[in-house]
Amino acid sequence: MAVNERPGSGLSALDVMRDAPVLPVIVLHAVEHAVPLARALVAGGIRMLEVTLRTPVALACIEAIARDVPQAVIGAGTVRSAADAQAASLAGARFAVSPGYTHAVGRACHELGLPLLPGVATGSEIMAAQEDGYTELKFFPAMQAGGLAMLKAWGGPFGDVTFCPTGGIHAGNAAEFLALSNVACVGGSWIVPTDAIREGDWARIEQLARAASQLPR
């Protein structure tokens, strides 16, 4: 079994990255928004959903989606510790995304069988993640850490690494990142606007998801 595959699930980090061009970065402040949001995204062609652990209700939202939206593949973002990984797994998360990388987080996700997209911003961080068996990585914060030029430069020494750039990615520049050979998908929040979630405008979110799911790569 690969280090980045969950026992019995058949899901790997590469599966998460390849399912759709965009991995939505979701921040939820109310549990009642979780299920209709997930349904809108799935209806628009986005199944892999990253709910970030940035709010007190995040774990409850993950649990609600895991229970009530079986078509979605729910993951936890902003996983910063082994405790975060454990809590996310117990809530029903099927993959994890971290803003950075530590051996402790990598080991915890491996022991839990939780596919992990670790965040990296430097060559040293890529090498540390690779030493622990991780070759599918989140480039974060993408625009602030060098953007397209950095990913192109990494294509030489890290030709065996696949990236999901996140941070500053939007509808206007996503296609440029997706055109790179070492990019499998991009992470972004533009398909889950805060005001649309707050107002319950699920039709708008479905429309944004549909457009994102059709981006070329």
How many CB atoms are closer than 10 A to CB 19? 18
Collect contacts of 177-181 with beta carbons under 8 A, ≥24 apart: 177/142, 177/148, 177/151, 178/21, 178/215, 178/216, 178/217, 179/216, 179/217, 180/148, 180/151, 180/152, 180/155, 181/155
Q: Which residues are catalytic?
A: 50, 138
Q: How far apart are CA 26 and CA 14, in angstroms?
A: 20
Name the DSSP class of 192.
S
Q: How far apart are CA 45 and CA 181, in angstroms?
A: 23
Tokens of 75: 């993951």
Instruction: Report yes or no: 14 and 20 within 8 Å, Cβ to Cβ.
Output: no
